[in-house]
Amino acid sequence: MTTNLSSHSSLGSATLVERNRVLRNTYWLLSLSMIPTVLGAWVGLATGITAGLTGFMGLIVFLGGAFGFMYAIEKTKNSAAGVPVLLAFTFFMGLMLSRLVGTVLGLSNGAGLVMTAFAGTGGIFLGMAMLSSIIKRDLTNMGKFLFIGMIMLLVAGVANVFIQSGALMITLAVLAIGIFSAFILYDLKRVQDGTETNYITATLGVYLSLFNVFQSLLMLLGLTGGREE
């Protein structure tokens, strides 16, 4: 009995150590991913390379590049190439974000709006991270509802490329902030519960949620609080 108790105690400790390691690596890689994202946005602003990616063409390039990178990340997540591929993806996402950032920066209070969106995203992340460590209940069932919500957002977003409705854009931005904030909580909780054991996959999930929260906040602030020069 003593041997069995010792064995179970060691197993529990190892599991906890593993969860903490994955969580720590996720936070570390998430922080690192901000560098190529900012660099990509800067390159996009400096070169204007994404200026022509409007409407349906922009959507095709964005979705094609994003899903292509995500497929590559899935294939390399257990190898040494996983981290470089993820960082290349975050550079691409920064590049794609540069057009929206440039549009907002063109407003008289644009710099302030960008900083507000950045601070708001950081606040949401910290709030969800703290909440994930407090909540004890299993949130697994929450995933399917969030996934359905995300698909509906994607479909409505694609439709709005053609409709060009400002009211719908604002509505989608608000919904996206709520859904992807919940996704941050869900993904971090999966790591803490030991459901997600690969820190590259965990980082990808949280990064995408943060990207969407920031993009939606920036869009919302630009549409509702922007001032023309």
pLDDT at 4: 41
Evaluate whether 212 touches 93 at the Cβ level (below 8 Å).
no
Read off the amino acid at residue 74.
E
* Segment-wise mean pLDDT, segments of 10 residues, the chain, 229 residues: 36 67 94 96 89 74 89 93 96 93 89 94 95 87 90 87 84 94 94 90 95 94 74
The two structure tokens encoding residue 222: 């630009």
pLDDT for the residue 53 = 72
- pTM of the full predicted structure? 0.88
193 three-class SS: coil
Q: What is the pLDDT of residue 62?
A: 83
pLDDT at 55 (0 to 100): 66
pLDDT of amino acid 225:
74
pLDDT value, residue 139:
85
The pLDDT assigned to 212 comes to 94
Give tens-digit pLDDT for 174-214. 999 999 999 999 999 999 988 889 999 999 999 999 999 99
Question: In the structure encoding, which two tokens stand for residue 171, read together?
Answer: 């509505």
Q: How many other CB atoms are there within 10 angstroms of residue 102's CB atom?
A: 16
Q: What pLDDT, on the 0 to 100 scale, is given for residue 57?
A: 76
